[in-house]
Amino acid sequence: MRRIIILFLLLAVVGALTAYAMARYARLSEPFKGYADAERFVDVPPKTGPQTIGRLLVENGVVSDALTWRAALWRSGEATRLKAGEYRFDRRMTVDEVIRKLARGEGYLRSLTFPEGLTIRQMARIYENAGFGPESAFTEAATDGALVSRIDPAARDLEGYLFPDTYALPRRATAVDLVRKMVARFETVFSPALGDAAVSLGMSPREVVILASMVEKETARADERPTVAAVYHNRLRVRMGLQCDPTVIYALERAGRYTGNLTHADLSFDSPYNTYRHAGLPPGPIASPGRASLEAAARPAPVDYLYFVSRNDGSHAFAATLDEHNRNVQKYQVDFFRDLRPGEQVTPGGASPPKSPAGK
């Protein structure tokens, strides 16, 4: 009788253990959400061990309990592949799904896009409007010219060196973090080959970036950029005024005097950035150029043009002589606007207002 009782007890224990194991195993496949909020963020610091990660997940209601975490982690074989980062959880998930999320490093990132041709001030406005922080923080971070000292020892700030692109950032990324990423991206794009091309033109990297920023603002057409760059190279070679409207606009913006409309009177505004009044390149970049403009400035088209004027459709007419240029001005500016029907709209060419006969 005693043996029978012991046998029944053993069977009961085995049954209980089996039932517990089955329940525990079933829990591995059950979606779980133990937090009341719509979402929960869990920050996994670098070099955090798998057991500590499990504790963080349990404390934040992402995983039901430590034993379930350990069992699932052992079964997955991913214990050494869990990555640091900030993770966002916003739904019921199985522990296996949680492990895969961490093993793939699917941390929570927010995207921020800067189009080509923006100034630091314009980028700072985008930064604030996207909810990343105040404009002042971005502007202050962008004053660190030392970040580009290898390329441009003379840089006082990062105007022209914050590469326009889309950046994925953690929630707690600072303006300094972002600016460093933007500079690093610029350094990747401005390759040693581009630096060598600048040297072959007798220009420093800074001068190429300045010229690229002008090209960026003058035309939105990628196919025109090498030709626009060639016009400025040719003018520099013959010591002819660059007369670039966007440099005047930049000067007016710095002084808080730009109204959105460039007038003939504005062309006389006294600023070292005004290339109508001062010979050669302006003292610094006037915007952040993209890859195509940097390439164009370092590798201009093999043409002899010295002038260009807007066709009012986003493109430009180029000319090698003043007579030819004046004919283009007559056709695309004087006659065009004279024949424009009242109320008819026109799309300006490039990124600047129509050029004056005495300009491009």
User: Is the pLDDT confidence value at 247 over 90?
Assistant: yes
Confidence band for 97, pLDDT divided at 50, 70 and 90:
very high
Q: Whose CA is closest to 171, among 236, 223, 256, 110?
A: 110
User: Is the pLDDT confidence value at 14 over 60?
Assistant: no
Q: Which residue intervals of the chain bear CATH 3.30.1490.480?
A: 29-103
Model pLDDT, residue 134: 97
pLDDT digits (tens, 9 = 90+) for 41-89: 999 999 999 999 999 999 999 999 999 999 999 999 999 999 999 999 9
Model pLDDT, residue 22: 52
Give the C-alpha separation, 272 to 247, whole Å.
9
pLDDT digits (tens, 9 = 90+) for 250-294: 999 999 999 989 999 999 999 999 999 999 999 999 999 999 999
Which residues touch 54 (CB under 8 Å, ≥6 apart)? 63, 66, 69, 70, 73
CA 336 to chain centre: 38
Confidence band for 2, pLDDT divided at 50, 70 and 90:
low
pLDDT digits (tens, 9 = 90+) for 30-44: 999 999 999 999 999
Model pLDDT, residue 351: 31
**By mean pLDDT, which of 18-27, 99-108, 118-127, 230-239 is the weakest?**
18-27
Q: Whose CA is closest to 32, among 65, 73, 2?
A: 65
More confident residue, 250 or 354: 250
CATH number of 29-103: 3.30.1490.480
Give the number of other Cβ atoms within 10 Å of residue 301's Cβ. Answer: 17
Give me the phi and psi of 85, to 5 degrees please. 145, 175
* Mean pLDDT computed over every residue of the chain: 88
Beta strand 85-89 with 307-310 is: unpaired
| DSSP result, 172-213 | T--HHHHHHHHHHHHHHHS-HHHHHHHHHTT--HHHHHHHHH
